[in-house]
Structure 1
Amino acid sequence: MHLIPPLSMIDFFRKSEGTWFTERSVHHFDSAADESGQSNLIVKVMEKDDPKVQEVCKDQGIDPTKATGGASFAWQANLDTRLPNDNAAILVDIPDETRRSGKLIRNQGYVESIPVVSQYRFADDGVLTIDTDYDNNQGQERCWFITDDFRVRVSTVRMMNGVNLMAYCSERRCVSQELLEQMIAQNHARR
């Protein structure tokens, strides 16, 4: 199967839409804390005229007409059957003229829960790099698709005195209930 990697943030959002089973390993260099584990990541694409996209732009003082769209990112425990809470992070794409790099504005950061502006860029092979400067540290995340349904993320958080933590995540797309029912029906039809 030939993979066509996304080379713009809005294409990345669209390719990421759905629920992902995430397995993560986290290594803290300054403590014994272990945040490794499993969770679900739920990604929903938002069009540029979505009120939440408009609100994030307004809150960051950015002209909403520069946005190509956005996405909400919500996490939940892997076996939790409840709907995720409404605390999803909203990310908005503000690309430069090439659309392969630009600004990613968020209503809340991953490392510090404050609104942030990140810089992103796509390499020729589709690897996405996101650099974020927070008040007290810097974060870098890299993400790429291995197949349409499997991707990898690696990240580091650097404090003033050096790297504080590193994380590795492998993510597999979950089959939707609708697709699962279609597969079952096709299987029954073979009998």
Structure 2
Amino acid sequence: MTMMDFFRKSEGIWFIERNVHHFDVVANESGESNLIVKVIEKEDPRVKEVCQLQGIDPAKAMGGASFNWLATTDEDEPNPNYAAVVIDIPDEQNNLTGKLIRNKGYVEGIPVTSRYWFGQDGILTINTDYDNNQGQERCWFITDDFRVRVGTTRMMNGINLVTYCSERRCVSPNALEKMWQNHQTRL
């Protein structure tokens, strides 16, 4: 799987249940949210914009994805403070590894470059070095409609937090009806 394959497989709305374990204080948190993923083709002007922001030749980009996090899908518009554009710059010798460049990082709200690779088991690993933190995120699909994401954030003095997310694809009423009809024909 390439990064663009991963983005295409991820496109849609996801319901996320997350647990965050903080190690610097005795605190854990959990919550639910929605993630909206949209594929960005390489011709999209955002590709050039993010590449220029990071000083990278846009011709090396394969495309990308936009991510918007929402507390619930009932919100009118996504909050731009909870959004990011991620562009795929695969390595020339191996399209299973490369760089992800973002207009805004997750841990620190600054433009950031990450390294990614896909293991032979299909697990995507993303390492990000911020100004004051390091993050690693691993993500994999259990099925086409269910995936798992695990992340760590390391401060200069050690691991600060670990995050575990279960993500289920939200199915539209039309897709649900189609699934029901397919099920009925199998019976």
Q: TM-score scaled to structure 1, two decimals? A: 0.89
Aligned counterparts of 1:177 and 1:54: Cα–Cα separation in 2:
36
Instruction: Identify the residue that residue 144 of structure 2 maps to in structure 1.
Output: 148
**Paired AA for residue 45 in structure 2:** P
Instruction: Identify the residue that residue 118 of structure 2 maps to in structure 1.
Output: 122
Aligned counterparts of 1:35 and 1:167: Cα–Cα separation in 2:
9
Higher mean C-alpha displacement, 24-33 vs 155-164: 24-33
Aligned counterparts of 1:85 and 1:177: Cα–Cα separation in 2:
25
| SS in structure 1 at match of 2:39 | strand
Measured after TM superposition, the shift of residue 160 of structure 1 is 1.2
Alignment match of 1:75 (pick from 69, 78, 87): 69
Query: Does 2:169 correspond to 1:134?
Result: no
Render the CA deviation track for 1:88-140: whole Å, top value 9, x for unaligned. 20000000121100000000001000000000000011100000000001000
Measured after TM superposition, the shift of residue 176 of structure 1 is 1.9
**Paired AA for residue 19 in structure 2:** S
Instruction: Identify the residue that residue 158 of structure 2 maps to in structure 1.
Output: 162
Measured after TM superposition, the shift of residue 24 of structure 1 is 0.2
Instruction: Identify the residue that residue 11 of structure 1 maps to in structure 2.
Output: 5
**Paired AA for residue 104 in structure 2:** Q
Aligned counterparts of 2:140 and 2:47: Cα–Cα separation in 1:
24
Matches within 5 A, 1:28-67: 28-67=22-61
Aligned counterparts of 2:95 and 2:17: Cα–Cα separation in 1:
30
Aligned counterparts of 1:177 and 1:68: Cα–Cα separation in 2:
32
| SS in structure 2 at match of 1:56 | helix
Instruction: Identify the residue that residue 4 of structure 1 maps to in structure 2.
Output: none
Measured after TM superposition, the shift of residue 32 of structure 1 is 4.2
Distance 1:28 1:74, change over 3 A: same
Aligned counterparts of 2:54 and 2:32: Cα–Cα separation in 1:
32
Q: After TM superposition, what 4+ stretches of structure 1 lie above 3 angstroms from structure 2?
A: 32-35, 180-184
Alignment match of 2:91 (pick from 89, 96, 101): 96
Measured after TM superposition, the shift of residue 36 of structure 1 is 1.7
Aligned residues: 182
Q: Identity over the aligned pairs, expressed in percent?
A: 70
| SS in structure 1 at match of 2:49 | helix
Aligned counterparts of 1:19 and 1:30: Cα–Cα separation in 2:
33
**Paired AA for residue 151 in structure 1:** R
Unpaired stretches in structure 2, ≥5 consecutive residues: none
Measured after TM superposition, the shift of residue 180 of structure 1 is 3.7
